[in-house]
Every structure is written in C-alpha cells, then in structure tokens.
Amino acid sequence: MKQEMYSRLSEKSSIGISVDSDSLEAPEVDNLSKYTTHDIKRLTKANSFLIIDEVFHIGKKEPNGKASMLYHVTRMRDKRYVCPSVLSKEDTIEMVKRKYFELDT
C-alpha cells in the first residue's frame, strides 16, 4: 500500500519539471524595456519635475503605455525609464531626487 502511494506520488511530482539545459539558463533581458516607448505628449507642472538640469516625467503609465496603479518615472532627455514606485507621488519624487544625488556624487 505505501509502496503504491510512493510510486504514484513520485510519478506526479515529476510531471512538468524539465531538467533541460535550456530551462536552467537565465532569461534574456530586453533592452527596450529600459526605455519608455509611448509618446509623452505634454509636460506640465503636475506630471514633471526637475533635478539639477534633468527633466523627469512622473505618471501612471508603464513604459509600454499601458495604464498602471503605480507611479513610473522617466528621464526626458533620452526617455530612459528610471523606476516604478508604490509610494505617493511626492514621496516618489523625493526618492528619485535622493537617489539621483547619491549616484551623482
């Protein structure tokens, strides 16, 4: 009885598990995902901020243009996607400013 249960369990547990070398490799990273691909039509005081000489856009759209619940920050010079944030808009701006100054020095 125990032997039957063990054999059935071992058969079920191996289903769907692949040990191919392809499945063990790291997934490829798409470099386009590091840039915002949708058009940012208008910069206003409400959706942008300035750090030293860089203009940043903050909004609730993912880099591919889909609506999101999170805030997303983009550097406007080259449309580089900076980060997503679960914080409020003001806290997100302060976080980006702090990180920008830390990396700049």
Domain with 58, as residue range(s), is: 35-105
In a domain, 59, yes or no: yes
Counting the structural domains of the chain, the total is 1
Question: What is the tens place of the pLDDT at every residue in 72-100?
Answer: 999 999 999 999 999 999 999 999 999 98
Whole-model pTM above 0.85? no
In sign, the C-alpha dihedral spanning 15, 19, 25, 26 is: positive
Mean pLDDT of the chain: 81
- How far apart, in Å, do the first and last CA atoms of the chain sit? 69
In a domain, 14, yes or no: no
What phi and psi values does residue 50 have, to the nearest 5 degrees?
-120, 135
Secondary structure element (H or E) that encloses residue 55, with its range: strand 54-61
